[in-house]
């Protein structure tokens, strides 16, 4: 019994979904017989790397054609053997389980011999980033002088872990996540073939949750199918993944905003009774709020402020922590939902945020999405300059644990002084040691820097901290004495 994902693995380029630029380039190469000796297929999981490598190998060795072809048939003995992994000239190696130098040595031995049946010997090295350093070194020797009849295809989800010496010898193809549109079309096709009836909304939900991995999408469809029979509904998908209908979460948030804790808890209760776990609930609520925040920032919604959403997200973050270790997660989820609905719904958080200088909007005027006039050219130049400086700084200290703090720092040049304004004491300490380095780096940029000045600025409360304080204050107000 094979899974749907295996059953519907494309056998030819025509069946392939998405990745058009890659397919086009590879087919051109086959048609013009301009074959490199080594390729890199990089990209996220389940988007067709292994599939494409096999079809390419078929193009090189298909027996239905007199020569290399961009239309491998998928049917002949060679094509079928490649598909089954038993073609003597197409060797698939899973580097995750064979990390070793022995395998690569064996390859180095065998590349010397001509292909036994086909036109080219193809080595597909899956999960190539898992090879050991020694194995890479051995591979490098082969890549340096590849025999005419050999083609290597390295597939990986993590190209950064492949040494640069190897990378520079590979022709690279970056596989992209498959678009929801293509995923849905492929799922529809498979469902039709299998006689599964699937609601459109269910397909959308699967596509959304598979995040561009067609394999994940197909296996999700298969699992929901097994679990719910021949007709698959949106509800089935939600139930299977522990998902929650956004409409329900929308109602929950509305009750919370109105301070209706009783109603909010009733919704939570119903969800938990229906089998949604506290973990699922927290994850779904977090995603929902994230989408909501985006909608507000993009001006698609205006019935809730971003400060409120941030405040709720702050609570979700805490829920997430507590749910992870608590023996009584349900209790805590209820606690936080209650707490959220007791939070200020009338206090104007925007006003407070403004007071603490946490928003760019000038007092009295709401910042509406429609364009602000762009700054005069002079000013923009200055900004760009600052950007460049900061980027250079960031690139210098990429590896340090303080790298993240650079983004929140400002870098300016005044005369021969390079001034770095930061809130991070850790960054200051780090930079103190790197001053000489920095000066020479900026000199390369034709900046006559002779001195580096690092100013640590006192930080104002971050929005989240502010919200925390505010929450406590408001909660305290309701209780006698408070905490
Ligand atoms: N581009 C695609 N077109 C059609 N089906 C695809 C595509 N990508 C993935 N699939 C489906 O997903 C399954 C897995 O694809 P494949 O093994 O090629 O992914 P991969 O990119 O090599 O993933 P991994 O990194 O996990 O090895 C295939 O059997 C096929 O059913
Ligand atoms: Mg693969
Ligand atoms: Zn063939």
Q: What is the pLDDT of residues 161-201, one digit of tens each?
A: 999 999 999 999 999 999 999 999 999 999 999 999 999 99
Q: Domains in the chain: how many in total?
A: 4
Q: What is the dihedral of CA 265, 268, 274, 277, to 10 degrees?
A: -130
> Do 21 and 133 sit in the same domain of this protein?
yes
Distance of alpha carbon 375 from alpha carbon 236, whole angstroms:
52
Pair (270, 342) in one structural domain: yes
**Based on the domain organization, do 163 and 62 belong to the same domain?**
yes
| CATH code for the domain of 80 | 3.40.50.300
| Per-residue H/E/C for the chain | CCCHHHHCCCCCHHHCCCCHHHHHHHHHHHHHCCCCCEEEEECCCCCCHHHHHHHHHHHHHCCCCCCCCCCCCCCCHHHHHHHHCCCCCEEEEECCCCCCHHHHHHHHHHCCCCCCCCCCEEEEEECHHHCCHHHHHHHHHHHHCCCCCEEEEEEECCHHHCCHHHHCCCEEEECCCCCHHHHHHHHHHHHHHHCCEECHHHHHHHHHHCCCCHHHHHHHHHHHHHHHCCEECHHHHHHHHCCCCHHHHHHHHHHHHCCCHHHHHHHHHHHHHCCCCHHHHHHHHHHHHHHHHHHHHCCCCCCCCHHHHHHHHHHHHHHHHHHHHCCCHHHHHHHHHHHHHHCCCCCCHHHHHHHCCCCCCCCCCCCCCCCCCCCCHHHHHHHHHHHHHHHHHHHHCCCCCCHHHHCCCEEEEECCEEEEEECCHHHHHHHHHHHHHHHHHHHHCCCCCCEEEEEECCCCCCHHHHHHHHHHHHHHHHCCCCC
- Decide whether any atom of ligand 1 lies within 6 Å of the 45 Cβ: yes
pLDDT for res 33:
95
> Is the per-residue pLDDT at 372 higher than 70?
no
The CA distance from 58 to 64, in Å, is: 10
Going by CA atoms, what residue is nearest to atom 13 of ligand 1?
215
From residue 219, give the alpha-carbon distance in Å to each of 30, 54, 215, 308, 380: 32, 21, 6, 38, 50
**Beta 150-156 vs 121-126: how paired, if at all?**
parallel
Q: Residues 267, 272, 273, CA angle at the centre, nearest 5°?
A: 95
Question: Is there a domain that residue 482 lies in?
Answer: no
Residue 52 alpha carbon to ligand 2 centre in Å: 9
Higher-pLDDT residue of 473, 51? 51
Query: Which of 211, 241, 271 is where one domain is finished?
Result: 241
Q: Are 144 and 265 in the same domain?
A: no
Bigger pLDDT: 432 or 136? 136
Q: Is the pLDDT of residue 380 over 90?
A: no
The confidence score (pLDDT) of residue 385 equals 54
**Residue 123 beta carbon below 6 angstroms from any ligand 1 atom:** no
- What confidence category does residue 375 fall into, taking pLDDT thresholds of 50, 70 and 90? very low
* pLDDT given for residue 470 in this prediction: 61
- Mean pLDDT is lowest, of 257-266, 282-291, 369-378, for 369-378
Task: Determine the Cα–Cα distance for residues 157 and 136; give it in Å rounded to an integer.
Answer: 17
Q: What is the pLDDT of residues 10-61, one digit of tens each?
A: 999 999 999 999 999 999 999 999 999 999 999 999 999 999 999 999 999 9
pLDDT of 379 reads 47
Ligand 1 atom closest to residue 156's alpha carbon, by position in its atom list: 25
- 38 and 165 housed in the same domain: yes
User: Is residue 466 assigned to a domain?
Assistant: no
Ligand 1 closest atom vs CA 17: 3
Distance 235 CA to ligand 1 centre (A): 27
Same domain, 66 and 109: yes
Residue whose tokens read 């002084």: 417
d(CA 454, CA 419): 6
Residue 260 CA to residue 471 CA, distance in Å, equals 17
Ligand 3 centroid to Cα of residue 81, in Å, is 9
- Considering the domain architecture, whether residues 18 and 163 belong to the same structural domain is answered as yes
Whole-number percent of the chain with pLDDT over 70: 80
Segment 112-170, tens digit of pLDDT: 899 999 999 999 999 999 998 888 988 998 999 889 999 999 999 999 999 999 999 99
pLDDT category at 103 given cuts 50, 70, 90 is: confident
Task: State the Cα–Cα distance between residues 5 and 221, nearest whole angstrom.
Answer: 10
Q: Please give the model's pTM, rounded to 2 decimal places.
A: 0.69
Q: Ligand 2 center to residue 46 CA distance, Å?
A: 7
Ligand 1 centroid from CA 173, angstroms: 15
Summarize the confidence of residues 85-107 as an average pLDDT: 87
Q: Residue 200: give its domain's CATH number.
A: 1.10.8.60
Give a yes or no: residue 403 inside a domain.
yes
Whether 428 shows a pLDDT value over 90: the answer reads: no
**Would you say 319 and 282 are in contact if contact means Cβ atoms under 8 Å apart?**
yes
In a domain, 478, yes or no: no
Query: pLDDT tens, 321-370?
Result: 889 888 889 988 998 898 888 776 544 445 544 554 444 334 344 444 44
Q: Strands 150-156 and 38-42, how do they pair?
A: parallel
Domain end position, chosen among 139, 174, 209: 174
Q: Is the pLDDT of residue 406 over 70?
A: no
Q: What is the separation of C-alpha 134 from the centre of its chain, rounded to a whole number of angstroms?
A: 30
Residue 364 lies in a domain: no
- Average pLDDT on 460-482 reads 54
Mean pLDDT value across residues 245-249: 95
Cα separations (Å) of 293 from 205, 209, 287?
A: 20, 19, 10
Does residue 414 belong to any structural domain of this protein? yes
The average confidence (pLDDT) of the chain is 83
Ligand nearest to the CA of 125: 2
On whether both 58 and 154 belong to a single domain, the answer is yes
> Which domain-ending residue is among 241, 256, 289?
241
The per-residue pLDDT for 366 is: 41
CA triple 321-325-331, angle to 5 deg:
80
- For residue 407, the model assigns a pLDDT of 53
Strand partners, 40: 154, 172
Domain of residue 395: give its range: 382-456
Expressed in angstroms and rounded, the spacing between residue 80 Cα and the centre of ligand 2 is 18
- Most confident by average pLDDT, 67-81, 255-269, 296-310, 334-348: 67-81
Q: What is the CATH number of the domain that holds 260?
A: 1.20.272.10
Look at residue 374 and tell me if it is in a domain: no
Q: How many CA atoms lie within 13 A of 334 on its CB side?
A: 12
Between 250 and 468, name the one with better pLDDT. 250
| Structure-token match 């229906």, residue found | 274
Question: In this structure, are residues 24 and 138 in contact, taking their beta carbons and an 8 Å threshold?
Answer: no
Are 103 and 166 in a shared domain? yes
Residue 360 lies in a domain: no
Q: What is the pLDDT of residues 265-280, one digit of tens each?
A: 999 999 999 889 999 9
Same-domain pairing of 14 and 145? yes
Give yes or no for residue 5 CB within 6 A of ligand 1. Answer: yes
Tell me if 464 CB under 6 Å of ligand 1. Answer: no
pLDDT at 456: 78
Examine the domain organization and report whether 125 and 65 are in the same domain. Answer: yes
Burial, 259: exposed, middle or buried (Cβ in 10 Å; 0-12, 13-18, 19+)?
middle
Q: Are residues 210 and 256 in the same domain?
A: no
Which residues, in sequence order, are CB contacts of 359 under 8 Å at separation 6+?
350, 353, 367
| CA–CA gap between residue 60 and residue 49 (Å, rounded) | 17
Name the token pair of 263: 């109603």
- Tell whether ligand 1 has an atom less than 6 A from the beta carbon of residue 17: yes
């Amino acid at each position: 019994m094979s899974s749907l994902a295996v059953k519907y693995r494309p056998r030819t380029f025509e069946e392939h979904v998405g990745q058009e630029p890659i397919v086009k380039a590879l087919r051109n190469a086959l048609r013009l017989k301009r074959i490199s000796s080594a390729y890199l297929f990089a990209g996220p999981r389940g988007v067709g790397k292994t599939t494409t490598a096999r079809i390419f190998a078929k193009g090189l060795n298909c027996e239905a054609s007199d020569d290399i072809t961009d239309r491998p048939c998928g049917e002949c003995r060679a094509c079928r053997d490649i598909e089954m992994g038993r073609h003597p000239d197409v060797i698939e190696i899973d580097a995750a389980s064979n990390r070793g130098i022995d395998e690569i040595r064996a390859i180095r031995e065998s590349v010397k011999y001509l292909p036994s049946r086909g036109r080219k010997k193809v080595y597909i090295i899956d999960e190539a980033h898992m090879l050991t350093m020694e194995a890479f070194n051995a591979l490098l020797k082969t890549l340096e002088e590849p025999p005419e009849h050999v083609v290597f295809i390295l597939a990986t989800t993590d190209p950064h872990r492949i040494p640069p010496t190897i990378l520079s010898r590979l022709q690279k193809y970056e596989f992209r996540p498959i678009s929801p549109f293509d995923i849905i079309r492929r799922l529809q096709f498979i469902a039709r073939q299998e006689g599964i009836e699937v609601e459109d909304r269910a397909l959308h939900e699967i596509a959304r949750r598979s995040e561009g991995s067609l394999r994940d999408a197909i296996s999700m469809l298969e699992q929901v199918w097994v679990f719910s029979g021949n007709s698959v509904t949106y509800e089935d998908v939600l139930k299977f993944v522990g998902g929650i209908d956004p409409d329900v979460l929308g109602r929950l948030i509305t009750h919370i905003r109105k301070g209706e804790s009783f109603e909010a808890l009733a919704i939570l209760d119903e969800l938990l009774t229906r089998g949604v776990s506290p973990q699922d609930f927290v994850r779904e609520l977090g995603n929902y709020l994230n989408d909501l925040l985006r909608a507000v920032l993009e001006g698609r919604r205006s019935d809730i402020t971003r400060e409120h959403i941030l405040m709720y997200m702050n609570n979700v973050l805490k829920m997430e922590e507590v749910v992870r270790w608590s023996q009584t997660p349900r209790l805590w989820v209820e606690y936080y939902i209650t707490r959220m609905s007791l939070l200020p719904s009338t206090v104007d958080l925007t006003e407070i945020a403004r007071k603490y200088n946490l928003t760019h909007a000038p007092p009295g005027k709401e910042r509406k999405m429609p364009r602000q006039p762009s700054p005069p050219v002079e000013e923009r130049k200055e900004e760009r300059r600052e950007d460049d400086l900061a980027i250079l700084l960031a690139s210098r200290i990429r590896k340090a644990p303080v790298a993240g703090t650079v983004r929140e720092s400002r870098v300016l040049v005044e005369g021969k002084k390079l001034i770095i304004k930061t809130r991070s004491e850790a960054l200051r300490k780090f930079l103190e040691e790197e001053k000489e380095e920095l000066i020479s780096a900026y000199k390369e940029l034709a900046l006559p820097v002779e001195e580096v000045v690092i100013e640590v600025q006192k930080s104002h409360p971050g929005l989240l901290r502010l919200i925390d304080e505010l929450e406590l204050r408001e909660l305290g107000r309701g209780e006698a004495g408070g905490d």
